[in-house]
Amino acid sequence: MPTIIIDDREIEVAPGTKVIEAAEQLGIMIPRFCYHPALGSVGACRVCAVKFLQGPFKGVQMSCMVDAQDDMVVSTTDKEAVAFRKYVIECLMLHHPHDCPVCDAGGHCLLQDMTVSGGHGIRRYLGKKRTYPDQYLGPLIQHEMNRCIHCYRCSRFYQDFGGYHDLGAMQSANQTYFGRFEEGILESPFSGNLIDICPTGVYTDKPSRYFGRRWDYERSPSLCINCSLGCQTVVSCRYRKVVRQEARLSESVNGHFICDRGRYGFFYNSLAQRPRSCIVDDQTTSVDQALAAVKQKLETFADKDRAQAVACAGSTRNSLETLAMVKHVCQTNRWQPPAYFEDAAATYKLKSAISRLEPDLTVSLREIESADFIAVLGADPLNEAPMLALALRQAQRKGATVAVFDPRPIFLPFEFKHLPANLDMIQTDLGALLNAALEPAALKKLDGSAREFYASLATVKQISAARQAEIVALAELLKASQRPIIVCGTEMVRRQTPALAADYALLMQAAGKSVGLFYVMPGANGFAAGLLADEDVSVETLIAGIEKGSIKMLILVESNPLWQFPDRHRLEQALQQLEVLVVMDYINSEVAQKADIFLPTTTLYETGGVYVNQEGRAQGVKPAYQGGIPIAQTGHGDHPPRVYGTEIPGAEPQAAWQLLAHLIGTGQPLTAEDLRAEIWQWLAKIDSGFKALPCVADIQPQGARFFQAPHAAERFLRERPIGGADNDGQLEVMAVEMTFGTEELSADSACLKALAGSPVIFMYSSDAKQLNLTDGDRVSVELNGGAVEARLQVTANMAAGMLIIPRHKDLDWQKMNTDKTFVHKDQIRKLKD
Amino acid sequence: MNDAVEAVKALAIGFATTFKHLFRKPITEEYPEYKRPLPARSRARIILTRDPDGAERCVACYLCSAVCPVSCISMQSAENEDGRRYAQWFRINFARCIYCGLCEEACPTSAIQLTPEFENCENDILALVYEKKNLLVDHQGKDKEYNYYKYAGVATEVGKKGEHVKEERPVNIKSNLP
Amino acid sequence: MLNWIVGFTILIVKLGVVLLVLLLLAAYLVWLERKFLARLQIRYGPNRAGKFGLLQPIADTIKMLTKEDIVPAAADRFIFLLAPAVVATTALMMFAVVPFGSHLTLWGRQIPLVITDLNVGLLYVFALSSLGVYGVAMGGWASNSKYSLLGGIRGAAQMISYELALGLSLVPVVMLAGSFSIVDIVNAQAKYPFIIVQPFAFVIFMISAMAESKRIPFDLPEAENELGAGYHTEYSGIRFGLFFLGEYVHLQILGALVAVLFLGGWRGPILPPPVWLFMKMIFVALIMIWVRGTLPRLRYDQLMALGWKVLIPLALVNIMVTGAILLI
């Protein structure tokens, strides 16, 4: 452990620590432009110069390029170093334009800070300034190259860290340019991070362009609820509007970065069409009156037998408070148990995944970066949880092998092994890989059920010949791996797959490897919803109940089955059969427009809440602002209204859990704090795992991880499908998630529309050949509920016998059965353009 | 003793001075009857000026609202069709303004200026909240020359990249020649 | 019985007249001070309300009466409300022993032109003056504000210190007159006013009197630029008005005392006695305003040093010298 003295203060640091990092540990911020903890050092900007007074070498050196060593004595305030830095800044400023007033980085610009603090106020250079053309980089990022100081952070992030190659350095010497070869939308779904890392204003946020200055924003820590990973963000609000979201450093979840879906997924919060007032039978009313209307309707179902005719559904975008309250209301009022998921299988898969997450298996997103072998089973990282792809990329950069067992046309921004097979085969393939990789010697210690499980694994010879060679090659790598991780999806896969993934992990653990298990779950609060859900209840069973006539009143709490439920026709029929439909939501969803009674609720940014990510990490956030209609909307684009008053217009919405509390008993409504405390008590009764959950105010920034209460979850399943039957010339239809355009909240972001593109249906190349279809054809697929039309994309990079349909907003894909859907090949027709 | 004499002398001089004042004509200027001509740089009512080409100078950079010690300036910046940043709305609450002139000092485009016109009292306090249309004037104020966009380097109708004061032609990014 | 009723009526009438004149005079003394001070500083002074601003005191009174009377939440309510009354009452009561003429003969009755001729009149004045300190101290303490408290403490310390010098400076006067009754003192000046034989006592008394009435340069208890307004920072409306009134009544009393003790009181040729007294009072007030217009405020230690190290020894020496001369 080298000990180094910086500015007369001694510090012991880990070997390999750079001097700039050692100084940071002491609280000394050495100026930097090119150095970034996630991107490392390149010594490009020269502004971190310090003077080495004693030690292995002396003189002015770049602190980001020198490892801290024993006997080093460093001064950051030495005259020579200070003068050096000052001249460097002056040189960087030679061509920098005079446009801070119209630059959106002004106010949080590293270059501005350094220029001012370095005392460079007067330009001595009298020559002409170099200028650059700017490029259109898509709807998210504004490009202004004149401001560039050539620190290379953007190209290092974009290419080295992110794995995309359409943005980088061009030209040479004093004319080096950062951009694309041709103008166009950036390919990387992580491009928004360029805004965060650029030390000046070359890349600025386009959707919030010219909205305000950092110093005027109400900034507060927040969470991304656009997928199950729960990345930490910083949200900026101004004039009652969420303006911008940035990544927040989290050592356990997302690191320094977030994806563009998360960064720009907040626009639903401030939309003009966001519902702000209660509606009862198409009449706008107050919250009290709407609640009274709900209570009046409920009176019809007051007695014991009739209470079962009321049902309630939440969703995975509910906060933990709302999820718990939904369940509590249903239990107290003896309604039907609440539904959180579309179908029973989803509930089952999630519950089995949660029950199999154990403390010594579960890994966080950041821990994936240090794995050396990663098997992805039935998950599409980039589309389902984009930041997972970035984490896998980091592992791959460090030498890990990534193998993806998934039928979809998987793309990841790095080199990986894709073994496409249908949903039954993928787990068999992974089993065969384990069988080949684990040495029998190591498995001798196994106890009964584990040994039995091992013996039942398929052998390499049992699987498709096409993949045998690849699996044998991967087995060699897995054999050598010390820290393998299994990443498993829970959405598309078969019922047993999540449990099987855990079994595979346990088997590897038994074989002496330090194993990690990582599930990808649907929705931001899938973990908590899964923990609270009753196994055999889902939206589908509610629909069945309505069809039977046993359910007459439905309360949907921040849930929009019309978005997600695969059989739209059936759902719509059922909704019409209802006597009363109550909807509480903060987005103007389709189902909200059909509601008899509608109550607006608040968003995460207005009331905060606790969300449990897919590894069981509960993260709580406080409100970012007070709520209300944005001033831009109340002022109709012009100045804000010229009235005095303390009331916030449009601030009637309450948190869904506060509204629900009114539906229990007749007691005095509790304050938000007391109600939260009560909710926490109920939670602990439902599952003792929640006992480990600190109350909202005590949740630390890194979150609080908890697990389901230990119980006798069955390890090493006996029943599991092996192989997959041929589908008799049928194609299995899979409705899948995409990075942009399929997630409900981010679908409201106008800026992401262009990135979502138009929907395409994927088909395997030889299947397409059989049907005489080619890439780019418009096709019509006859599903159970009618035809779906879209353009076809033919690819060899997916499993045969599958038809992949994105759940794209612009595609009416909800014409499927709730069970497996197959289409005959003759149900696919080519359409004329 | 000397001190005492000195003290008495000093006192006497003081009393004599004030006594003499009794017979002088007061120097008070009586305001509504006599209005003293104020220097051009005296600080009172605030205006938003235009550049010599007649376009609004204000780029809504928020520096004036940031520096304002009483937070009486608020605005919303936006982008117009030709790429200029401008104030969608701009509001000064003169009921709060203390006329310190820091906004004028902070303004990078000479847009916001204080004028000697100080008689702007109102009975209705809301009438003291000035909107952009009340603030915007049709002249350059004290700074007759400056046009910020000639120097800023951003592409607007004032000039494309490389057409502003002291700028080279834009780099050809697809060449490797230095 | 009839005699008693007539005597009582006369007393009530005298009280009414004196009180009316005192209050009116206090109001116009403010006007005089503002006007005169303004001229000393080459300004106009109030000139908007009425001709020469003559209606200014009335405007001020209306303003003071109609303003909200605020009692701070943390204040000691009872004492807070009592304090201004103490200041105003003690000041007004002091005038009871000041003669403004010898006597008037109406319907064969001799009416002495003094409310009451106490044989210990001077001691009565000092006693009330000492009570006035309580008003200041109570106001300062009850406001529960740091500025008020500091003002109150300063006021109490200053007034107690200067009371000594004030009292001692008058001992030679009493020795010369041979009586504590103010009427007797005025009568003793029938030949010549005491200022001629007692110039030192006069100067000491003037300075102490200004300190006693907390006027510039001795206005440390108020000291606007250090303590806000000192002991009456928290007062508003009519209660502030009472403090204000007390101050200006005090100014009149001191003017009257100076006139009575050193300038021969109501004695003077041609003009009727009350007019003489009035003129002498105004003259003293003008001098005090002139002092205010000329001198800056003393520092607290300077104030104390002046009182204890200069005025008191000087007064003692004066007593001894006077005594010696009287003996000889």
Could you read off the pLDDT of A793-828 as tens digits, one per residue? 999 999 988 999 999 988 888 888 777 788 888 888
Closest CA to A693 of A348, A323, A316: A323
pLDDT at B77: 92
Taking CA–CA distances from B13, the nearest residue in chain C reads C294
pLDDT for residue C151 is more than 60: yes
The confidence band for A37, taking pLDDT boundaries of 50, 70 and 90, is very high
Tell me the chain B residues in contact with residue A644 when contact means C-beta distances shorter than 8 Å.
Answer: 126
Interface test with B, best of A210, A236, A243, A636 (most B CBs within 10 A): A210
Tell whether A261 and A294 lie within a shared domain: no
Residue A448: its pLDDT value, please?
Answer: 75
Spatial contact of A254 and A365, defined as CB atoms under 8 Å apart:
yes
Average pLDDT across chain B, whole number? 91
pLDDT for res A636: 67
List chain B residues with CB under 8 Å of C293.
18
**How many domains would you assign to chain A?**
5
Q: Is residue A712 part of a domain?
A: no
In a shared domain, residues A352 and A421? yes
Q: Determine, yes or no, domain membership for A332.
A: yes
Domain CATH code at residue A568:
3.40.50.740
Calculate mean pLDDT across residues C81-85. Answer: 87
Rounded Cα gap, residues C270 and A807, in angstroms? 115
pLDDT exceeds 60 at position A723: no
Q: Report pLDDT digits (tens) over A114-151.
A: 999 988 988 899 899 999 999 999 999 999 999 999 99
Lowest mean pLDDT among A214-228, A568-582, B63-77, C169-183: C169-183
Q: Do B59 and A97 touch (CB under 8 A)?
A: no
Q: Which of A639, A643, A644 to mutate to test the interface with B (most CBs of B within 10 A)?
A: A639
- What's the pLDDT at A666? 60
Contacts of A216 in chain B (CB under 8 A): 62, 65-66
Cβ-defined contact of A128 to B167 (cutoff 8 Å): yes
CATH of the domain at A800: 2.40.40.20
| Closest alpha carbon within chain B to A211 | B77
Longest dimension (CA), chain C: 64
Q: Looking at residue A552, what is its pLDDT?
A: 92
State the smallest CA–CA distance between residue B15 and chain A in angstroms.
54
Contact between A318 and A529 (Cβ < 8 Å): yes
pLDDT at residue B140, rounded to an integer: 93
Distances (CA, A) of B66 to A587, A738, B105, B106: 34, 42, 12, 9
**What is the mean predicted confidence (pLDDT) over C212-219?**
83
Give the model confidence (pLDDT) of A558-609 as tens digits.
999 999 899 999 999 999 999 999 999 999 999 999 999 999 999 999 999 9
DSSP characters over A491-504: SSS-TTHHHHHHHH
Domain interval for residue A685: 278-341+535-637+648-704
Average pLDDT, chain C: 84
> Tell me: the pLDDT tens digits for A360-412?
999 999 999 999 999 999 999 999 999 999 999 999 999 999 999 999 999 99
Q: Which residues touch A473 (CB under 8 Å, ≥6 apart)?
A: none
Is the model's pLDDT at A725 over the cut of 60?
A: no
Flag if C42 and B26 touch (Cβ within 8 Å): yes
Per-residue model confidence (pLDDT) at position A530: 93
d(C-alpha A104, C-alpha C51), whole Å: 62
Per-residue pLDDT for A76 more than 70? yes
Q: Are the beta carbons of A167 and A234 closer than 8 angstroms?
A: no
Label residue C320 exposed, middle or buried (CB < 10 Å: 0-12, 13-18, 19+).
exposed
CB contact under 8 A, C294 and B14: yes
Q: What pLDDT was estimated at residue A238?
A: 92
pLDDT digits (tens, 9 = 90+) for C99-116: 777 777 777 777 777 777
What ipTM does the predicted assembly reach?
0.87
C106-130 b/e (C-beta count within 10 Å ≥ 16 → b): eeeeebebbbeebeebbebbbebbe
Q: Provide the phi-psi class of C144: left if phi over 0, else alpha when psi is between -120 and 50, else beta.
A: left
Long-range contacts of A393-399 (CB under 8 A, 24+ apart): A393/A161, A393/A162, A393/A163, A394/A161, A394/A368, A394/A369, A395/A368, A395/A369, A395/A370, A395/A371, A397/A160, A397/A161, A398/A369, A398/A370, A398/A372, A399/A372
Are residues A131 and A9 both part of a single domain?
Answer: no
Confidence of residue C163 (pLDDT cuts 50, 70, 90): confident
The type of residue at A585 is D
Contact C43 B27 (CB under 8 A): yes
Interface membership of B20 toward C (CB under 8 Å):
no
pLDDT score, position C297:
86
Q: Are residues A383 and A314 in the same domain?
A: no
Partner residue opposite C41 with nearest CB, options B19, B21, B25: B21
- Sign, CA dihedral A317-A320-A325-A326, equals positive
Contact between B100 and B107 (Cβ < 8 Å): no
Sequence-separated (6 or more) residues with CB below 8 Å from residue A67: A2, A15, A16, A17, A18, A19
Contacts of the segment C5-10: beta carbons below 8 A, 24+ positions apart: C6/C109, C10/C109, C10/C111
Helices in A273-363 by DSSP H: which ranges?
287-299, 304-307, 320-332, 344-356
Q: Is residue A107 part of a domain?
A: no
Q: What are the pLDDT digits (tens) for A665-678?
A: 766 677 888 888 88
pLDDT of residue B170: 93
For A77-122, write each residue's pLDDT tens digit. 999 999 999 999 999 999 999 999 999 999 999 999 999 998 898 8
B14-46 burial by CB neighbour count: b if 16+ within 10 A, else e? ebeebeebeeeeeeeeeeeeeeeeeeeeebbbb
Confidence of residue A481 (pLDDT cuts 50, 70, 90): very high
pLDDT on residue A476: 93
Q: How far is B81 from chain A (nearest CA, A)?
A: 13
Question: Judging by DSSP bridges, how do beta strands A760-764 and A786-795 pair with one another?
Answer: parallel
Residues of chain B with pLDDT under 50: none
User: Per the domain annotation, does A717 fall within a domain?
Assistant: no
Of A653-657, C86-90, C191-195, C207-211, minimum mean pLDDT range: C191-195
- Residues A13 and A52 reside in one and the same domain: yes
Q: Locate the chain C residue with the closest alpha carbon to B16.
A: C294
Q: Report the pLDDT value the prediction gives residue C85, as an integer from 0 to 100.
A: 87
Alpha carbons A537 and C323: distance in angstroms, whole number: 115
Is the pLDDT assigned to residue A689 strictly greater than 90? no
Q: Is the pLDDT of residue A304 over 80?
A: no
Q: Would residue A455 count as lying in a domain?
A: yes
Q: Confidence class of residue C132 from pLDDT cuts 50, 70 and 90?
A: confident
Specify whether the CB–CB gap between C24 and C2 falls below 8 A.
Answer: no
Q: If you write DSSP's letter for every residue of A631-648 in order, what string do you get?
A: HHHHTTTSSPPS---SPP
Q: Does residue A495 register a pLDDT over 70?
A: yes
Q: Name the pTM for this structure.
A: 0.82
User: Which of B79, B81, B78, B84 lies closest to B53 in space, CA to CA?
Assistant: B84
- Count interface pairs B-C at CB distance under 8 A: 32
* Percent of chain A whose pLDDT exceeds 70: 97
Q: CB A102 to CB B131 under 8 A? A: no
Contact partners, residue A466, CB within 8 Å, separation at least 6: none
Enumerate the domain spans of chain B. 46-150
pLDDT in tens, C6-55: 878 888 888 888 888 888 888 888 888 888 889 888 988 888 888 888 89
- Claim to verify: residue A154 and residue A56 sit in the same structural domain: no
User: How many Å apart are CA C159 and CA C91, to the nearest integer?
Assistant: 14
What digits encode the pLDDT tens for the residues C252-281?
Answer: 888 888 888 888 777 777 777 788 888 888
Locate C307 and state its tokens.
Answer: 């009182």
Q: Both A598 and A666 in a single domain?
A: yes
Pick B46-150's CATH classification: 3.40.50.2020, 3.30.70.3270, 2.102.10.10, 3.30.930.10: 3.30.70.3270
Are both A508 and A545 inside the same structural domain?
Answer: no
The verdict on A458 and A353 lying in the same domain is yes
Chain B partners of A102 at a C-beta cutoff of 8 Å? Answer: 59, 61, 85, 152, 154
Mean pLDDT across C302-320: 88
Q: How many CB pairs under 8 A join A and B?
A: 113
State whether A173 and B178 contact (CB < 8 Å). yes
Cα–Cα distance for residue pair A547/A574, rounded to 1 Å: 6
Chain C residue with CA closest to B20: the answer is C40
Specify whether A801 is located in the same domain as A681.
Answer: no
Residue by residue, DSSP assigns A548-589 as HT---EEEEES--HHHH-SBHHHHHHHHHH-SEEEEEESS--
- Check residue B13 and give its pLDDT: 93
Q: Has residue C234 got a pLDDT over 90?
A: no
Q: A589 with A464, same domain?
A: no
pLDDT band at A515; cut points 50, 70, 90: very high
How sure is the predictor about A722, in pLDDT bands with cuts at 50, 70 and 90? low
What pLDDT sits at residue A694? Answer: 86
Q: Worst-scoring range by mean pLDDT, A19-28, A648-657, C208-217?
A: C208-217
Q: What pLDDT, on a 0 to 100 scale, did the predictor assign at position A615?
A: 93
In this predicted structure, what is the pLDDT of residue A167? Answer: 95
Asked if residue A117 belongs to a domain, the reply is: no
Residue A275 pLDDT greater than 70, yes or no:
yes
pLDDT at position A456: 84
What chain B residue is nearest to A640 in terms of C-alpha separation? B89
- Mutation for testing the A interface, residue in B161, B164, B165, B169 having most A CBs under 10 Å: B161
A768 plus A621 within the same structural domain: no
Quote the minimal CA–CA distance from C43 to chain B in Å.
Answer: 5
What is the distance in angstroms between the CA of the first residue and the CA of the last residue of chain A? 69
Nearest to A435 by CA among A474, A394, A481: A474
Split at pLDDT 50, 70, 90, the class of A718 is: low
Whole-angstrom CA distances from A205 to A354, A396, B161 are 38, 30, 21
Helix (H) or strand (E) holding C104: strand C103-106
Domain presence at residue A501: yes
Chain A residues with CB within 8 Å of chain B CB: 97-102, 106-107, 127-134, 144, 146, 170-175, 177, 179, 181, 209-213, 215-216, 239, 632, 635, 637-640, 642, 644
Tokens of A33: 């432009």
Structure tokens of A402? Answer: 């990534």
Write down which chains contact chain A via at least 3 CB pairs under 8 A: B
Cβ distance B19 to C290 less than 8 Å, yes or no, reads: yes
Distance CA C112, CA C122 (A): 18
Residue A463 CA to its chain's centroid (Å): 34
In a domain, A318, yes or no: yes
CATH number, domain containing residue A364: 3.40.228.10
Question: Of A521, A554, A586, which residue sits at a domain end?
Answer: A521
Q: Identify the CA nearest to A407 among candidates A464, A357, A354.
A: A464
Mean pLDDT of A775-784: 90
